[in-house]
Amino acid sequence: MLYRETGVFHSTYAEDQAVFKLPLDRYAVWITVAIAIFVIPLVASNYVLSDLLTPFLIMSIAALGLNVLTGYCGQLSLGTGAFMALGGFMTYKLVTGFPTASALFGVTLPDISFFGFEPFDIWFVFMLIAAGLITAVVGLLFGLPSLKIKGLYLAITTLAAQFFLLWLFIKVPWFTNYSPAGIAPAPPQTLFGFDVTGAASPEANRYLFVLMLAILAAVAVKNLARCSYGRSWMAIRDMDIAAEIIGISPTFAKLSAFAFSSFLIGIAGALWAFVKINSVQTDAYTILLSFQVLFMVIIGGLGTVLGSFLGAAFVVLTPILLNISLTSLNPLFVAIGLGEISIAMIKHIEFMVFGALIIFFLIVEPHGFARLWQIAKQKMRTWPFPY
């Protein structure tokens, strides 16, 4: 009774087609977004903003991207880390090659400022989109094998992207502007006149910038999944032969999923370099990252937007929170005579507990956190009765 559909009537097509058909859902989402935008930057500490929430949002964008490919279209990919790296390196090349619009087009965007707000200071967003598009094209190329093979075999071919692209960025010094160690520092960027990346930018700016992109990505994925593209992806996922018979082009469906997925992943990779680690380096995009994003998608829930966020939160935040809480419990262990636990031991406990949690959640709910949320809604619907 806490949550119910009864009494909600849709009298127009627009209402019937809304993303959130129930007012309750709508309010909940708006309140969450409002808290994320207006409350969290004011109350959260700089550490929480910059090292818990910002990486969580960046990885949510990557998880959304992979969810398009794996969750909605059913194509398994292990190349996520490489596509993120491509996004990072391409953004770096673009912003160092064309620091302003005039460097590329010879036109200067108007330099207007209202109390520090500069509406035309949007060049970095264009650079991000351009890097995303380059990643999309490369992702599409590495998606070509999906037309012939599927399942685990496809996973192996996407693994080729992981090894080839990282090798390329090390081998060709052009990608790092001939930096000696193969690491390039990510130059600080601005948006609307505010510093949004770089060490000197306020943590809240970085957080809000990434939050804005994460919301845009979530809206885009949610809506794409409802339109003809998303339906064709899901048809291919559920049964490719049947989908082809009813007139869906597998080539188009699969390649568009690869392209859009890589676009989002590329942008996430650029943010990882520019916002999180302030440098572009291949070692931040190893195969481990590919697996991590895949875990986020699976643990969060395949084919759901909410699941991408929940999965990213689980994979990014749990190890850090476990580590912090175990470290802060050390005085307690000393007090009860167990002695201080070394940081190596804490790290090992962190690994074990995190691994056990993954197994636990997959056994309890193989369909991921998003499904748990649905079950919770069902409970609220029938409360206080069991059925």
Partner 1 sequence: MKKALIGTAAAVAMLAGSLVAPAELAAEEQYFPLLSYRTGPYGANGAQLANGQIDYMKLINAKGGVNGVMLRWEECETGYKTDVGVECYERLKGNGPVAAVSPFSTGITYALLEKAVADENVLFTMGYGRTSAADGRVFPWVFNFPATYWSQATSIMSYIIDQEGGVENLQGKKIGLVLLDHPYGREPIPTLEALSKDMGFEFLQYPVPTSSMSDQKSLWLDIRRAKPDWIMMWGWGAMNPTAIKEASLIRYPMDRFIGNWWAAAEVDVRGSGVPAEGYIGATFHDVGDNAGVFAEIREMVHDAGNGTGPAEELGEVLYNRGVANSAFVVEAMYTAMAEFGNKVLTGEEMRWGFENLNLTEERIAEMGLTGILPPTQVSCENHEGSPAIKLQRWDGEQWEIFTDWIPAMTDVVRPLIEADAAQYASENGIEVRSCS
What are the residues binding partner 1 (CB under 8 A)? 46-48, 50-51, 55, 96, 170, 177, 179-183, 185, 187-188, 198-200, 272, 276-279, 281, 283-284, 286-287, 320-325, 328-329, 342-344, 346-348, 364
Nearer of residues 50 and 146 to partner 1, judged by Cβ: 50
Longest dimension (CA), the chain: 71
Sorted by sequence, the CB contacts under 8 Å of residue 366 that are 6+ apart come out as none
Alpha carbons 321 and 287: distance in angstroms, whole number: 23
Question: Which DSSP category does 21 fall into?
Answer: -
DSSP-derived pairing of the beta strands 190-191 and 194-195: antiparallel
CB of residue 162 to partner 1, shortest distance in Å: 11
Please state the φ and ψ torsions of residue 188, each to the nearest 5 degrees.
Answer: -60, 145
Spatial distance between the Cα atoms of 185 and 106, rounded to a whole number of angstroms: 26
With respect to partner 1, which residue has the nearer C-beta, 255 or 313? 313
How many helices (H) does the chain have, and how many strands (E)? 18, 4
Closer to partner 1 by Cβ: residue 152 or 200: 200
Least Å from the CB of residue 149 to partner 1: 25
The residue (of 47 and 333) whose beta carbon lies closer to partner 1 is 47
Q: Is 151 or 187 the residue whose CB approaches partner 1 more closely?
A: 187
Contact 76, 293 (CB under 8 A): no
Of 206, 211, 188, the C-alpha closest to 198 is: 188
Q: Least distance to partner 1 from the beta carbon of 212, Å? A: 22
CB of 385 to partner 1, least distance (A): 15
Distance between the two ends of the chain, CA-based, in angstroms? 11
Q: How far is the CB of 283 from partner 1 (least distance, A)?
A: 5
Of 295, 279, 297, 275, give the one whose Cα is nearest residue 287. Answer: 295
CB nearer to partner 1: pick between 180 and 337: 180
Which two three-digit tokens encode residue 188? 């600080």
Per-residue DSSP letter, 114: B
CB of 211 to partner 1, least distance (A): 18
d(CA 1, CA 48) in angstroms, rounded, equals 36
Minimum CB separation from partner 1 for residue 221, in Å? 24
d(CA 288, CA 294): 10
Q: Which is nearer to partner 1, 124 or 260 (CB)?
A: 124
C-alpha–C-alpha distance, residues 372 and 370, integer Å: 5
State how far the Cα of 101 lies from the Cα of 122, in Å rounded to an integer: 10
Nearer to partner 1, 256 or 281 (CB): 281
Instruction: Please state the closest distance from residue 254 (CB atom) to partner 1, in A.
Output: 29
**Least distance (Å) between residue 67 CB and partner 1:** 22
36 or 287: whose CB is closer to partner 1? 287
Distances (CA, A) of 49 to 56, 193, 196, 202, 225: 10, 21, 13, 10, 30
